[in-house]
Amino acid sequence: MLWAYDRKINASPGLPWVCGEPILDDMPRPKKPRYCRQFAGFNLFKPAGIPLSQLEIVEVGLDELEALALCDFEGLHQEQAAEAMDVSRGTVQRLLQGARRRVADAVVHGKALVVSESDHVHIRTWAGNGRGRGHRHGRGGPF
């Protein structure tokens, strides 16, 4: 056993080594890009008549909102939404679960809802009729 970075690790020949020490990557794997449409609405929703300074804020990611729109509003199956966003069906399922929980929390408890972007979310610029089959079918995506 070797001690590196105050952690006990197995000396495996498969690990990359630098200066006699194994390279440890404690950082999580980078997120796969998620493709979304440009969000044309407002990025803040709040109860009327209450100043924002008095409200608790709930953030929903643009990718979560996109999964919610594709599945719940447009009626696509999770597999179709996953293809449109270029992610796995499991990722769409997790995005839907998070989005539904956050939106319900904001509505039920009278909180402000903010739509936020992330580095791993990419905006599609394809201008089609809005009901395409996805970029894997050669049309650049349903957006």
Burial of 5 (0-12, 13-18, 19+ CB in 10 A): exposed
Distance CA 134, CA 64 (A): 18
Residue 56's pLDDT is: 95
- With H, G, I as helix, E, B as strand and everything else as coil, classify residue 132: coil
Task: Per residue of the chain (143 residues), give pLDDT as tens.
Answer: 444 444 444 555 555 555 666 556 666 766 667 666 777 777 899 999 999 999 999 999 888 988 998 999 999 999 999 998 888 999 999 999 999 999 999 999 999 999 887 766 667 765 444 444 444 444 444 44
Whole-number Å distance between alpha carbons of 122 and 78: 19
Quick one: DSSP state of residue 36? E
**Do residues 124 and 37 lie in contact, with contact meaning Cβ atoms separated by under 8 Å?**
yes
